[in-house]
Amino acid sequence: MSNTISSLEPTALWKNFSDLNAVPRPSKKEERVIKFMQDFGARLGLPTKTDKVGNVLISKPATPGMENRKRVVLQSHLDMVHQKNNDTVFDFDAEGIKMYIDGDWVKAEGTTLGADNGIGVATIMALLESTDIPHPAIEGFFTIDEETGMTGALGLEGGFLESDILLNLDTEDDDELTIGCAGGVNVSGKAFYDEAEMNQNFNSIQLTLNGLSGGHSGMDIIKGLGNANKLMNRFMNELMNCVNFCIIEIEGGGLRNAIPRESNAIIGIAKKDMIVFDEVKAKFIEEVSSEHKVTDPNLSFTTKEIDHRWKGASIESSKKLIKAIYAVPNGIYRMSPSIGGLVQTSNNLSQISMKAGEANIFCLCRSSVDSEKYDEVETISAALSIINAEVSLGANYPGWTPEPSSAIVSLMSDLYVEMFKEKAHVMACHAGLECGLIGTNYPDLDMVSFGPNIRGAHSPDEKVQISSVQKFWDFFLETLKRIPEA
């Protein structure tokens, strides 16, 4: 299968993408892919160095005649989001991604593809090993852990980079030039709850909600996709409005930057209340299936009785947890008042884990306005105060302030019109890009982000368009030819 992918044009890019996707590279477990990049640089005989957090930098001198041009750093992140369908058997820690071609798209078999940001990494690799592509002096900069905290960019120190211009290859629409992005902060809540005994008069019922579309919690938050954690909690709230029951376990969602696709829960409910349970279930399925028939047509909610569990959260604790989760905001918090169609602030209720007296709730709050980001954090904290949760913040990174009149943006905007006979969309995005953090230590870097068409990032539906990769590659090479003199 990989041989077929490797034969696509441009072959240098697709070959490197295939090689990269053979290396397991989950966030926070990048040791193998770091070694892969170090070996790649050494094999080419190019200066290769690694900083204290694991970012890799491979430098290459300018080709003849371009020595007087500004130096360019080409940047992409090495890690990828690991998500799979619930019926897919796959070990992300041991297996390479299984790819295939479907018309004009490259996809993966039941898992994320890693085009985010593997196509960017492969693009830089193809340029580094080229012998016939004209370019100025370049630095191939490969960061780690972008997807779960941007700790690679966060740990970058001044003096590691020497360039004047940064091209970030992590945008997912080939007609866009991204010049700004949202910042973000991880919000974690931990609470402890009272447990109660459940006798034989209680049934233990497993609840499974799956089949949602999922997606990128920044770029796709505007689509109104279903959040499995919110929907599961909605069912339990509707049930609690009719009868009392005990929550035994919840395990929903996963990665903070992925909209939750699945949630599983176990509850203990009195046998005498099972008729009411079935009525509430039928009404819930009818309502949510209708509400989400466009965004999540494969939504499924099933239940089954399992072996008896003797202990779960008390009824009072169960009620408080349901109300707290209901109160946590999810989705768009505010649209930008100055940029049409841009989400300014949002929250993704990404994961809920509850078992044996402890509940953990995780969110990723994004905003291009820091004060508004912290306002939403206060809203989340207020909701979690219902269960007396201890709230902590982590992986707090800044946004990237747009500079639409910068030299590199002007150059690439004009070039896009010249090459494709239409204007590029020069815009900011609601996703988190590393440019904001990199700019903290390198404030004079002139930065822009661009890339090919990628759809379904952070979900097993992820795919990258073959014809768009060729377009992106041509635009990338022509941009390098036009880099101005220093």
Residue numbers annotated as active site = 79, 146
**What does the CA dihedral 84, 31, 27, 454 come to, rounded to 10 degrees?**
-70
Q: Which two tokens stand for residue 480?
A: 């390098």
Q: Which two tokens stand for residue 237?
A: 């709230």
**362 close to 351: Cβ distance less than 8 angstroms:** yes
Nearest CA among 222, 233, 149, 146 for reference residue 188: 149
CA distance readout (Å), 414 to 188, 401, 410, 425, 484 = 44, 21, 6, 12, 14
Amino acid at 341: G
**386 close to 320: Cβ distance less than 8 angstroms:** yes
* CA 269 – CA 239 distance, rounded (Å): 10
What is the tally of helices (H) and strands (E) in the chain?
12, 25
Q: Between β-strands 215-216 and 195-197, what pairing exists: parallel, antiparallel or unpaired?
A: unpaired
Nearest CA among 377, 367, 375 for reference residue 344: 367
